[in-house]
Amino acid sequence: MGDVSEVELVRRWQGLLARHAAVYNALEQELRQHHDLGVPEFEALERLAGCQLGKCRGAELSEAVHLSQSAASRLVARMERDGLVERSLCEDDRRGIFVRLTEHGRRRYLDARPTHRAVLATTLDPQ
């Protein structure tokens, strides 16, 4: 049905790789330079800012940032060290944690968002 030739498949993948690299590198560059944030940090902030009360379970966060569980765990640790988020115990299931956006984290997110959107606007248009 939706069959596509092998060369078409490869062409799509190359395109995906190229667009991903272009946007990702530009984002990394701009977010780092102007806001001292990495792409995963920003993605996590954005996810948390969209959550009710700014709380979020660790596993949800791993999925949102497209990182392994261990990488997400360390990401949260770095962000906590930098005062962007706080970890709190989850009383319902005491194995788990909640990650909560701090006021400082929310401010950093709101500051960085225009930069993020501007990069997307300039590097994502030939979609």
Partner DNA sequence: CGAAAGTACATGCACGCGCATCTAATGCCA
Partner DNA sequence: TGGCATTAGATGCGCGTGCATGTACTTTCG
d(Cα 81, Cα 58) in Å, to the nearest integer? 16
Work out the angle between the directed axes of helices 39-49 and 103-123 (0-180°, nearest 10). 120
Looking at residue 97, the DSSP 8-state letter turns out to be E
- Which residue, 72 or 97, has its beta carbon nearer to its own copies? 72
Residue 8 or 50 with smaller CB distance to DNA: 50
Residue 77 binds its own copies, judged by CB under 8 A = no
Measured from the CB atom, is 73 or 123 closer to its own copies?
123
* Neighbour count for residue 15 (Cβ, 10 Å): 11
Applying CB under 7 A, the residues found at the interface with DNA are 29, 38, 40, 57-59, 67-71, 73-78, 87, 90, 93-97
CB nearer its own copies, residue 24 or residue 74? 24
The neighbour count for residue 56, using CB atoms within 10 Å, is 23
Residue count, binding to its own copies (CB under 8 A): 22
CB of 7 to DNA, least distance (A): 25
- Answer positive or negative: Cα dihedral of 82, 85, 90, 95: negative
Residue 5 contact among its own copies, DNA, none, beta carbon within 5 to 8 Å by kind: none
List binders of its own copies among 38-57 (CB under 8 A). Answer: 43
Of the residues 34, 66, 104, 107, which one makes contact with its own copies according to CB under 8 A: 66
Q: Which residues pair with 101 in a beta bridge?
A: 85
Q: Is 59 in the site for its own copies (CB under 8 A)?
A: no
Distance in angstroms (rounded) separating the CA atoms of residues 119 and 27 = 6
